[in-house]
Amino acid sequence: MNSLLSVRNLRVEIPVGAGLLKPVRGISLDLNKGETLCIVGESGCGKSLTSLALMGLLPKVARCSGDRLSFGGQDLLGLTERQMARLRGRAISMVFQEPMTSLNPAYTIGDQLIEGMIRHDGVSRAKARDRAIFLLEKVGITAAASRLSQFPHQLSGGLRQRVMIAMSLMCGPDLIIADEPTTALDVTIQAKILRMMKDLQAELGMAMVFITHDLGVVARIADRIAVMYAGIFVETGTARQIFDTPTHPYTKGLLSCLPVPGKTKLGARLGAVPGVVPALIGGVQGCGFASRCPLRQAACDIEPELSERGDGHSCRCVHDTPTLRKAEWATA
Amino acid sequence: MRSSLLAAAIFAVALPFPVMAGSDDNSLKIAFTREMDTLNPFLNTTREGVILSRHVWDGLLHRDQATGEYVGNLATSWAWIDDTTLEFTLREGVTFHNGEPFNADDVVYTMNFVADPENGVNPQRNVSWIKEAVKIDDFTVRILTDGPFPAALEFLSGPVVVLPDTYFAEVGPEGMATAPIGSGPYEVTESVPGESLTLTRFADYHAGSPKGTASIDTIIWRTIPEANTRIAEMLSGGLDWIWQVPADQADRLAATGRYNVVNESTMRIGYLYFDASDRHGETPFDDLRVRQAVSHAVNRQAIVDNLLKGASEVVHSACFPSQFGCDTTVTRYEYDPEKAKALLAEAGYPDGFEIPFVAYRNRDYAEAMMADLANVGIRTSLDYKKYAATRDQIQAGEVPFAFMTWGSYSINDISAITSIFFKGGIDDYARDPEVIGALDTGDTVTDPEVRRAAYSQALNRIADQAYWLPLFSYNSNYVFDLDLNFTPTPDEIPTFYNASWQ
Amino acid sequence: MVSSSRSEINHTSTPGQQLRRRALRHWGLMIGSALLGLIVLIALFAPFIAPHDPYAQDLTLRYLRVAFMGGTWEHPLGTDHLGRDYLSRLLYGARISLTIGLVAALISGTIGTILGVTAGYFGGRVDTVVMFIITVRLSMPVVLVALAVVALFGGSLTVVVLVLGFLLWDQFAVVMRTSTQQIRSQDYVTSARALGCSTTRIIMTEIMPNVFNNMIVVITLEMAHAIILEAALSFLGLGVQPPLPSWGLMIAEGKDMLFFEPFLITIPGLALFILIFAINMLGDGVRDVTAPENRN
Amino acid sequence: MLRFLLTRLGLAALVALTVSLISFSLLFLAGDPAVALAGEAATEEDIQAIRAQYGFDRPLPVQYVAWLTGALTGDFGNSYYFNTPVIDLITERLPTTMRLGLAGICFALLLAVPLGVIAAIRPNSLIDRFALFISVVGQAMPTFWFSLILIVIFAVALGWVPVSGSDTWRHFILPTVVLGYFATPGIMRLTRAGMLEVLRADYIRTARAKGLHPLKILFKHALRNAAIPVVGLAAVQLGFMLGGSIVVETIFALNGAGLLAFESINRNDFPVVQALILIFSLIYVMLTLLADLLNAWLDPRIRVA
């Protein structure tokens, strides 16, 4: 395979007082150039830690391991912090969830935009400024030049997120990891930002890992989707496959929470997945979703493998595909 | 913490510090506790000021410490013309530090200036006896006194010095304080207020002076308020001379064998006074028996032996024994706690009483006395304040019972102590007409025998009535470099013009 | 932090049990309270443990050294400049020093808490006025004012304690004000107000219990502060008056022989150090244990 | 900005006014100093005359207004002890205290900030524990004892520095260390806590995600934000140092305003005490104002608000 990002069996473990917390329990993925992968899941399922693990930005206490974590053919797991830092912001960049707090309040946005480029590309301030203005305009900020001397607190949340996105593009990265970039924003602005990101991605030919809990967002942007639950992927496939033929009970549950224009009747009840994500201390016995699953049975005590359900569509469940496709979620 | 223990360990073994022996540049580094209020000799009220004045200025007379006789300094001879007139023949060829020659005009100007109460000389009693000075010729002057004043010679050999008239008229008292000019053995060459003074030997000092020729070239005079800092400076060689070192420290420093430690008596005595005249309202001390009880209760000898040590002695009359007129054959109150208890019971205090106790120095002596008093049932609460505050309160009549001391300005005459405290002034808590009358006589007649008799009467009355409990005379410990020749005197005025390096 | 929020999930114990568990695991808190407890016990039982009368002087037995440094076991810690038993004075001194710290902290605590809670609760103009008072207080040089007052009114234990109490309330006011502001905006207070509870009732039942932890922390801080300040005043000759054996005064008296009998200053100095250390450990511990999210 | 400045200056004036009123009343309570001024041989008439001359017989408000009017023009009256203008005494001695205070706060910052930063980067490390130790000792050790220990070790036993005085910069080393050391625990704890908080902040993660050099992240992005509360504390500490250098000045025989204040208290020299309290409180208010301005520069959010 000649994919840009290739991950095999990535695990994150955090020692806590009472034992070992395993928020990411072995995920694998491949991402090609220019492709968008959405990782979907409830909060607490490990998706944010996955993104941090990819960036090498895990908290110090966390331990990261895996069979493979390669980017552009380079093994990231073997890199020193120094080498990793050279990669961050240049080849891989990241957009965070909280635009309000992700910018340093003490410096102008201009300063924060250009510092990474000056470090990585060794360009002059003037040149970096030009690039910053160019990108600010790209992300739809008017009067970009004058914005450079403004401080974060003088900008609205939407503008700040645009700045963050521009910042991630400064060095023309091959991969952007966006961790819930629109969650904190108004719905109207969400839509604009998503469209813009999609456009930019196409224009600049980047790959993107997009992390969200919002399937509505996923529908707008994803090429491929990985549904994450309790630290592992329970279903992966193309956007079409996931939306059209959801297979895993959890995916189906998530989708039933989503109103579909034209399909969901006005006034009809939306579904909800009952129960909570299990605690991840000391690992999970059996299928992590079993306690919430309508199709639960004895075999669920053994954790199933991710199995092929046709044309790159995989699902992690003991049940066979027809059973799964047939099953309906009882709306709560 | 550990370092303190380390230090303790170091000290327990020995004092392993190099003692800077001698001085490379013939300078002397000395330190005092207090900052002088002013360098002007007629305005300063501190002991340090008195010492400075002896070095920078000269008086008409000089008292020889060895013989106690008065000898001429700026005057070569003098005589009482009548009861109120003193005539002086002045020394010729004397110049002031600024080159101004000395003559009768300087004496007349100085005496007339200080005699005017408007000019605010402090303390006034140093000069209040002067009526005026008259110039007879360039080197003859007469000083007229305000009534007979037998102690005039003592004052003229002490606090009353002569200022240069031209310079003083030009700069005034403030100028004299910032850039003092005198005719003494040392001139002030640098003054950093509150920190240091530099005194430089006056090269043209007149050869005939009874003060002799100074040997030390420079005296660095520092103000160091903290006692431990002074000792640390001594240990590290930053100082050559300190004084008023408490007995315990002096003993230990002497034991190192690295310093000269000399103990010399001083004119200062300590005393307890009682409010016997209701100035503070009614107190148990209105009763003679209570005052006597206190007098018997305090173990003065033990305090002298264990705390003051050195040349200190228990005193029994309200003056320093060497002072003129100090009759020491008065009633004595021996240490006798049983008798004290009996007297208290007799006075109606079988269980003692409680009373505030004011003190301003030697907190340890005060504590020791409090313990003695507690033994006979007198429970005291110590109110320990600084001198100025204490004195204010006392003079305002607010203190019934206090431990005070008095140094008589080193004036070897009883008028400098007894007359101040028992002549009905603001310091007098006895207000006894008999005492006041006797002291008046003693202070104004010139016949020494009549004076002696009058003072004796006063002192006996004070002792019989136990208005004061005179405690002990003080001593001062001088600690200085082994290579320094220095001789302390009992008047508590160290004379560095007589000091020299070996 | 991710780790701590997750780790809480598994705990099903009550907040009280969690608190106790955290407290027992916090070595600083344990050491602090053990030492402080010991000193309090010493203070309480001083008359029973002290081998001698702390005020009994014997001028013939001055400066006896510590027993193991050449002294006698009759006076295990030696004697002071008036021949008084140093151990006995040290034991009784615990009373004085603790009293000074505790009473001063209580006085300042009362003043500061009233001001702080009032300001924090009512806000607006009341807050402005209280803030002004706090600024005025902070701008007054504490040592200088304390010295001046003690010099004017004489240095009795009462005066010293009162002066310190009236000077050290600023931290209480500041902390109480902030805590009250935070709690005031919480839902349960809002709902209590909506239910029509009286202001006093809300302050006493809703606010006070919740600012209590912070108060304990400040009390320990200010206790330590008061004790140290008293030592400084004593050093300058304007602290409590002898023969009361406060540790500060013992240091001040012992300093005269610093170069010759260092034990005189080391022993009470060490005692004072341990006391302050214990109080600070306790304060830090309480803060850590009651507010784990602020743990450094 | 101008409005902010004016409000703060107004507040400063009001604070100083209140402080002076409090201290004035306090000293008034102590009774009139005429007896002290009159000297030992004074008669009752002398005392009365002095009372009238200095106006001690007037009611408190009248005296206060008179004093305040003078104070506004820099005339604090004459010292009872030195009999020279108070303002001269203060201008003569305040620089020593200022120098000491500034040196002290610089020392404290130089010691506390790096220690606090390192302690925050490596919690529970050896340096963190060392920092904690320093701060505990600093809080629990009386100033004078610490001073004397330093003198014993470094001046007497080792002879590295002079014991006392103010002639050269070397004389200032020990007093600076003592004064600065006691400001260290607070600043260090605040730096450590601030750094810990800031290092957890999202913008630090952003900076790391940009691949910036760790030192740049630390000094540019973290320290500046963590410094904001520290600046305020340092200003307050400096204010405390200036007003609290009494013990240090006494021990090291530094003739500064602190020693002057202490000696003046002992001498009942009220005009000096009164003026010093006012000046120290003014300095404090000015310092906090300065800290606010500095913070406004450090934190643009304050600038506009």
Range among B162-171, C118-127, C172-181, D127-136 with highest mean pLDDT value: B162-171
Split at pLDDT 50, 70, 90, the class of B1 is: very low
For the segment D63-104, what is each residue's pLDDT rounded down to a tens digit? Answer: 888 888 888 888 888 888 888 899 999 998 999 999 999 999
- pLDDT value at residue D303: 63
The answer to whether residue A40 is domain-embedded is: no
Q: Which CA distances in Å does C51 have to B370, C46, C89, C263?
A: 22, 9, 10, 19
Chain B residues within 8 A of C262 when measuring between CB atoms: 4-5, 7-8, 11
CA A41/CA A154 separation, integer angstroms: 33
For chain A, the chains sharing at least 3 beta-carbon pairs closer than 8 angstroms are: C, D
Statement: residue B216 has pLDDT above 90:
yes
- pLDDT value at residue B72: 92
The answer to whether residue A262 is domain-embedded is: yes
Which residue has 């002549």 as its token pair?
A: B423
Q: Contact at 8 Å (CB) between A39 and A50?
A: yes
Best of D200, D205, D206, D302 to mutate (most A CBs within 10 Å, chain A)? D206
At the top level of CATH, which class does the domain D89-267 belong to?
A: mainly alpha
For the segment C190-227, what is each residue's pLDDT rounded down to a tens digit? Answer: 777 777 777 777 777 777 777 777 888 888 888 988 99
Cα nearest neighbour of C81 on chain B: B364
Nearest CB among A57, A104, A106 relative to D209 is that of A57
The b/e string for B383-419 (b: 16+ C-beta within 10 A; e otherwise) is bbbbebbbbbbbbbbebbbbbbbbbbbbbbbbbbbbb
The answer to whether residue A190 is domain-embedded is: no
Q: What is the 3-state secondary structure (H, E, C) of chain D?
A: CHHHHHHHHHHHHHHHHHHHHHHHHHHHHCCCCHHHHHCCCCCHHHHHHHHHHHCCCCCHHHHHHHHHHHHHCCCCCECCCCCCEHHHHHHHHHHHHHHHHHHHHHHHHHHHHHHHHHHHHCCCCHHHHHHHHHHHHHHHCCHHHHHHHHHHHHHHHCCCCCCCCCCCHHHHHHHHHHHHHCCHHHHHHHHHHHHHHHHCCHHHHHHHHCCCCHHHHHHHHHHHHHHHHHHHHHHHHHHHHHHHCHHHHHHCCCCCHHHHHHHHHHCCCHHHHHHHHHHHHHHHHHHHHHHHHHHHHHCHHHHHC
Helix and strand counts by DSSP (H, E) for chain A: 11, 13
**What average pLDDT score do residues C134-138 get?**
89
Written as six digits, the tokens of A146 are 């004058």
- Residue ranges making up the domain that contains A331: 246-332
The answer to whether residue A324 is domain-embedded is: yes
For the segment D93-126, what is each residue's pLDDT rounded down to a tens digit? Answer: 999 999 999 999 999 999 999 988 888 888 778 8
Cα nearest neighbour of B231 on chain C: C259
- pLDDT value at residue A2: 65
For the segment A220-271, what is each residue's pLDDT rounded down to a tens digit? Answer: 888 889 998 888 888 888 888 888 888 888 888 888 777 766 666 666 666 6
- pLDDT value at residue A309: 80
Nearest CB among A21, A44, A279 relative to C3 is that of A21
Written as six digits, the tokens of B5 are 């223990």
- pLDDT value at residue C6: 40
Statement: residue B12 has pLDDT above 50:
no
**What average pLDDT score do residues A134-154 get?**
86
Q: Comparing C-alpha atoms, which of D140, D129, D146, D259 is closest to residue D188?
A: D129
Cα nearest neighbour of D251 on chain B: B226
Helix H or strand E encompassing C88: helix C86-122
Nearest CB among D206, D216, D300 relative to A102 is that of D206
- pLDDT value at residue C8: 41
**D112 to chain A, minimum CA–CA distance in Å?**
22
Q: Comparing C-alpha atoms, which of A82, A79, A69 is closest to residue A6?
A: A69
- pLDDT value at residue D304: 53
For the segment A56-87, what is each residue's pLDDT rounded down to a tens digit? Answer: 888 878 888 888 888 888 888 888 888 888 88
Q: Which CA distances in Å does B452 have to B330, B415, B416, B458?
A: 14, 11, 14, 10
Q: Does C12 touch chain A (CB under 8 A)?
A: no
**What average pLDDT score do residues D286-302 get?**
82
Q: Contact at 8 Å (CB) between B110 and B40?
A: no
- Across chain C, mean pLDDT equals 83
Statement: residue D291 has pLDDT above 50:
yes
Task: Considering only residues C67 and B312, tell me which one the structure prediction assigns the higher pLDDT.
Answer: B312
- pLDDT value at residue A331: 45
What ipTM did this prediction achieve? 0.80
Percentage above 90 pLDDT, chain D: 11
Q: Does C22 touch chain B (CB under 8 A)?
A: no
Q: Contact at 8 Å (CB) between D159 and D152?
A: no
Statement: residue B3 has pLDDT above 70:
no
Q: Does B379 touch chain C (CB under 8 A)?
A: no
- pLDDT value at residue C161: 92
Instruction: Give the least confident one: A46-55, B372-381, C49-58, C151-160.
Output: C151-160
- Put simply, the answer to whether A105 touches D299 (Cβ < 8 Å) is yes
CA B214/CA B28 separation, integer angstroms: 12
Q: Contact at 8 Å (CB) between C232 and D142?
A: yes
Give me the helix-helix angle, D270-298 and C142-153, nearest 10°: 160
The answer to whether residue A116 is domain-embedded is: no
Q: Contact at 8 Å (CB) between C21 and C13?
A: yes
For chain C, the chains sharing at least 3 beta-carbon pairs closer than 8 angstroms are: A, B, D
CA A117/CA C125 separation, integer angstroms: 50
Residue A225, classed as helix, strand or coil, is: strand
Left if phi > 0, otherwise alpha if psi is -120 to 50, otherwise beta: which for A266?
A: beta
- Which amino acid is residue D117, in one-letter code? V
Name, in order, each residue with C-beta under 8 angstroms of C113's C-beta and a sequence gap of 6 or more: C172, C173, C176, C211, C215
- pLDDT value at residue D19: 87
Q: Does D213 touch chain A (CB under 8 A)?
A: yes
Best of C5, C9, C24, C25 to mutate (most A CBs within 10 Å, chain A)? C9
**What average pLDDT score do residues B410-419 get?**
85
- pLDDT value at residue C295: 41
Cα nearest neighbour of A117 on chain D: D210
**Number of structural domains found in chain A:** 1
Cα nearest neighbour of D215 on chain A: A82
Nearest CB among D207, D209, D216 relative to A55 is that of D209
- Put simply, the answer to whether C296 touches D123 (Cβ < 8 Å) is yes
- Put simply, the answer to whether B226 touches D250 (Cβ < 8 Å) is yes
Q: Comparing C-alpha atoms, which of D235, D216, D247 is closest to residue D284?
A: D235
CA B262/CA B385 separation, integer angstroms: 30
Q: Does C230 touch chain B (CB under 8 A)?
A: no
Q: Does C27 touch chain D (CB under 8 A)?
A: no
Written as six digits, the tokens of B52 are 């400075």
DSSP output for C156-197: -HHHHHHHHHHHS-HHHHHHHHHHHHHHHTSHHHHHHHHTT-
Q: Contact at 8 Å (CB) between D247 and D144?
A: yes
Written as six digits, the tokens of B481 are 């470099």
**B37 to chain D, minimum CA–CA distance in Å?**
5
Query: For B92, phi and psi rounded to 5 degrees?
Result: -100, 155
For the segment D4-52, what is each residue's pLDDT rounded down to a tens digit? Answer: 788 888 888 888 889 888 888 877 776 666 766 665 555 667 777 777 7
Chain A residues within 8 A of D209 when measuring between CB atoms: 55, 57, 88-89, 93-94, 96
- Put simply, the answer to whether C155 touches B8 (Cβ < 8 Å) is no
**What DSSP designation does B264 have?**
E
The answer to whether residue A59 is domain-embedded is: no
Task: Considering only residues C143 and D46, tell me which one the structure prediction assigns the higher pLDDT.
Answer: C143
Cα nearest neighbour of C248 on chain D: D142
- Put simply, the answer to whether B371 touches C270 (Cβ < 8 Å) is no
CA C295/CA C22 separation, integer angstroms: 12
Statement: residue A155 has pLDDT above 80:
yes
**B369 to chain C, minimum CA–CA distance in Å?**
10
For the segment B475-501, what is each residue's pLDDT rounded down to a tens digit? Answer: 999 999 999 999 988 788 899 999 999
Q: Contact at 8 Å (CB) between B468 and B316?
A: no
CA max distance for chain D: 85
Q: Does C166 touch chain D (CB under 8 A)?
A: no
- pLDDT value at residue C234: 86
Split at pLDDT 50, 70, 90, the class of B13 is: very low
